[in-house]
Amino acid sequence: MSETAVKTTAEPTAEEVRDTKIYLGWSMTDAEYERAVGMLGRLPNYTEAGLFAVMWSEHCCYKSSTPILKSFPTTGPRVLQGPGEGAGIVDIGNGKAVVFKAESHNHPSAVEPFEGAATGVGGILRDIFSMGARPVAVLDSLRFGELTAAHAKDVDRNKFLVDQVVAGISSYGNCIGVPTVGGETEFDSCYEGNPLVNVMCVGLIDVKDIQKGRAAGAGNSIMYVGATTGRDGIHGATFASEEFGEGNETQRSAVQVGDPFMEKQLVEACLDVIHNHNDILVGIQDMGAAGLVSSSAEMASKAGTGLYLKLDDVPQRETNMTPYEMMLSESQERMLLCVRAGHEDEIKKIFTAYGLDAVTIGRVTDDGQYTLEHKGAVVADIPVRALTDDAPEYHLPDSEPARLKGLRAVDASAASLKITNPSETFLDLLASPTVASKEHIWHTYDSQVLTNTVIRPGSDAAVIRVRDTDTALAMTTDCNGRYIYLDPEIGGKIAVAEAASNIVASGATPLAITDCLNYGSPENPEVMYDLKRSAAGISAACRTFETPVISGNVSLYNETSHEAVYPTPMIGMVGLLEHTDHITTQAFKNPGDAIYLLTGPQGIRPDFAGSEVQKLTTGSIGGVLADVDLDAIAATQRALLTAIRAGFVASAHDVSEGGVAVALAESAFGFDSASGDGRENPQAEVLGVDVTLDLDDPLLFAETVGSFVVSVPAGKVEQFEASVAATSPEAAATLLGHVSDDGMLNILTNGDGIRVATMSAKKVWKESLACLLN
């Protein structure tokens, strides 16, 4: 280790870094700076201080959330790779595995929505193919502010953010040739200053091709491949580790700029190396958050080695770049490879054929040091562990949020909703942005490229076939931040239960989850309470549904001027269909099919707290969130899945926002992507429902988790009922009526019920979001 700090050209001295406390602008505290000084036994120079700041940022080392993440179940009989690598991996049989992960790009998307969202897609794609997998699907989970002037401070900006984020996602995904197959979008005022842009990617891999991000073997070469390095994205990781204030929208230099066409070449070149030259590839990792320093230091840390990098050899697209800038740049479409010594030219030839740079910039050492050289001088000399394993870890205090007492006192009874005309309330719900069709968003996405998509956006989960097998994968993203806001632990359970319901309704067995944990500042004890308690709920649900957490992302400081977003732990789940014959959609299929309500033993409960109907009719949310019986929900899901596999089910749709009434309507609206071409059911104009529910009118809109609207062919009613009773005595299958051909939604209750023409309701549901945005 160097005994003195080395000053780099035109940068502050180590003493100036200390005296001016420039590191505070990088979200590094005084205590953390002193910790770095103690580890080095000297003052860090400007470059070294920057390396510590970014590697110890919340975004990179999860210093405030690591103790909480350790509570998640991460193992299982099918899990081949859990958290700790670029993505998680689950065995799906036939020598194949599914690779998936979700990432957030919230802060970049708030200040530069198109590039922020686009590079979010690019980054998560690289996480997937760095494991050796080919990306086959992208999903998103988006949160924006309100779209009406009555509920938003700046409705025009909210609309601009929606337009540009969606454009960024579609542009990158469409250009690179990976289908965007599903997702969710919700709107609430708390997201106005800080939208949430979470992106999930799913890949497929032969088990024999699995890669790890390791720089092992002293003397082996470190090769930089892909795009050149510029000054974009410098300190993007620390930018994502602080809350928004008045000046944050000017921080566009922290936002990266993507090139999907170059990334397409990078995908193919990397997979070429992995599949055809695996004997000379030691490790591979994406240069994502914190760029070159993060990827290289993490690869050395996982292998227990050191690294020597010569920065003069780093491909640069701008002149006079300093070591600090090169190491912290988050320029896109770059990967780092560890290659067996003597085979560098072989790797270079491959990447050259794809029109990409491939340059040897360093070597693996056995001294455990992270050493950087520039213009003949050592500009950084730090123990690898100091940047990675020995990063600070905080056990921050938590306290129950003061808001909860007031929220629990809110009347969330059916009477509080004051529903006098259920048909009118029903249509208003269909028009609300969170419930309304998101076709205006997903029609811009190419969901069919690669020709594996069986169910496109619009059903409970997307489904893609696994080529050369009879199997398929179902995938979904889900979370309702309102529930976590009302009760973090119960809300955490609901997030996983809803995702599992989406997977099961498509005919698949849930396998595992990834997550994006979106919260406010961890320095606020109330935010830490939300994070800890919701994590406990997520863990409990994952154990019940046997869906371990195999990857994920934590995004904190999602707040503007000390006002945090709803705690929003997005759950991305993947399930396995053991045969494509089991694929199920939410659309009713034929007149005369029986319609059932499948629930737990309690049936539909008055679950109005945090519901869409509560927000619609009262203008706010509140009340006591009823706990959920995870075992009963799992039993109901088993009953449905067993019936689907036996061929007794024509359609299935989980009850969520808007309750049973909306679930019935959406099933009757006739979206049928099972044909593979995404066209709507040709009978959509004539299908309706004739059903009777032994419920008061408000309960039509209750959001009871773990409930399903199921249609059954007329000739299989007895088999369906017997199957449910035999599989899960806890499940209740209540016959409501049948699918009709008169084009009317006739929903009778103990009150006025609902009577609306299918096409009138569908027009409201389908056109509302487009009208609001345009």
Please give the pLDDT value at position 671: 60
**Which neighbouring-strand residues pair with 744?**
757
pLDDT digit string, tens, across residues 710-766: 999 999 999 999 999 999 999 999 999 999 999 999 999 999 999 999 999 999 999
Helix 758-773 with 422-431: angle, nearest 10 deg: 40
Confidence of residue 439 (pLDDT cuts 50, 70, 90): very high
pLDDT digit string, tens, across residues 99-123: 999 999 999 999 999 999 999 999 9
Has residue 9 got a pLDDT over 80?
no
Tokens encoding 143: 């949160």
With H, G, I as helix, E, B as strand and everything else as coil, classify residue 469: coil
pLDDT digit string, tens, across residues 541-587: 999 999 999 999 999 999 998 899 999 999 999 999 999 999 999 99
DSSP assignment string, 510-542: EEEEEEEEE-S-TTSHHHHHHHHHHHHHHHHHH
Percentage of the chain surpassing pLDDT 70? 94
Has residue 147 got a pLDDT over 90?
yes
What is the mean predicted confidence (pLDDT) over 482-491? 98
Confidence of residue 232 (pLDDT cuts 50, 70, 90): confident
Distance from C-alpha of 342 to C-alpha of 361, rounded to nearest angstrom: 14
Q: Is 59 a catalytic residue?
A: yes
Has residue 1 got a pLDDT over 70?
no
Please give the pLDDT value at position 187: 97
Q: Is 582 a catalytic residue?
A: no
The 10 Å Cβ neighbour count of residue 72 is 20
DSSP assignment string, 149-164: TTT-S-HHHHHHHHHH
CATH T-level assignment (fold) for domain 584-774: Phosphoribosyl-aminoimidazole Synthetase; Chain A, domain 2 (3.90.650)
Please give the pLDDT value at position 477: 98
pLDDT digit string, tens, across residues 303-335: 999 999 999 999 999 999 999 999 999 999 999
Q: What is the strand order of the sheet 462-465 is part of?
A: 453-455, 462-465, 472-478, 568-577, 509-518, 549-555
The 10 Å Cβ neighbour count of residue 281 is 20
Q: Round to the nearest angstrom and report the end-to-end CA distance of the chain.
A: 61
Q: Which of 5-19, 195-209, 211-225, 631-645 has the lowest mean pLDDT?
A: 5-19
Distance from C-alpha of 90 to C-alpha of 508, rounded to nearest angstrom: 15
Rounded alpha-carbon distances, angstroms, from residue 737 to 203, 427, 494, 724: 41, 22, 28, 18
Compute the 3-state secondary structure of the chain and give helix, strand, coil in percent, each to the nearest 5. Answer: 40, 25, 40
Closest CA to 404 of 496, 486, 336: 486
Distance from C-alpha of 38 to C-alpha of 600, rounded to nearest angstrom: 58
What is the mean predicted confidence (pLDDT) over 135-143? 98
Please give the pLDDT value at position 210: 97
Distance from C-alpha of 486 to C-alpha of 408, rounded to nearest angstrom: 8
Rounded alpha-carbon distances, angstroms, from residue 57 to 67, 221, 691: 16, 28, 56
Distance from C-alpha of 135 to C-alpha of 123, rounded to nearest angstrom: 12
Catalytic residue among 105, 374, 653, 738: 105
Please give the pLDDT value at position 283: 97
Please give the pLDDT value at position 257: 79
Has residue 588 got a pLDDT over 80?
yes
What is the mean predicted confidence (pLDDT) over 140-167? 94
Distance from C-alpha of 8 to C-alpha of 229, rounded to nearest angstrom: 19
Cβ contact 447:457 at 8 Å: yes
CA atoms within 13 A on the CB side of 712: 30
What is the mean predicted confidence (pLDDT) over 236-240? 52
Kind and range of the H or E run holding 347:
helix 344-353
Catalytic residue among 59, 107, 440, 738: 59
Maximum Cα–Cα distance across the chain: 85
Please give the pLDDT value at position 150: 83
Rounded alpha-carbon distances, angstroms, from residue 688 to 438, 460, 597, 711, 762: 22, 20, 16, 12, 11
Please give the pLDDT value at position 605: 97
**Which neighbouring-strand residues pair with 735?**
596
Rounded alpha-carbon distances, angstroms, from residue 122 to 55, 201, 291, 316: 21, 10, 14, 20
With H, G, I as helix, E, B as strand and everything else as coil, classify residue 85: strand
Length of the chain: 774
pLDDT digit string, tens, across residues 661-714: 999 999 999 864 444 434 445 555 579 999 999 999 999 999 999 999 999 999
Tokens encoding 489: 């632990």
Percentage of the chain surpassing pLDDT 90? 91
Please give the pLDDT value at position 235: 62
Confidence of residue 289 (pLDDT cuts 50, 70, 90): confident
DSSP assignment string, 283-299: EEEE--TTHHHHHHHHH
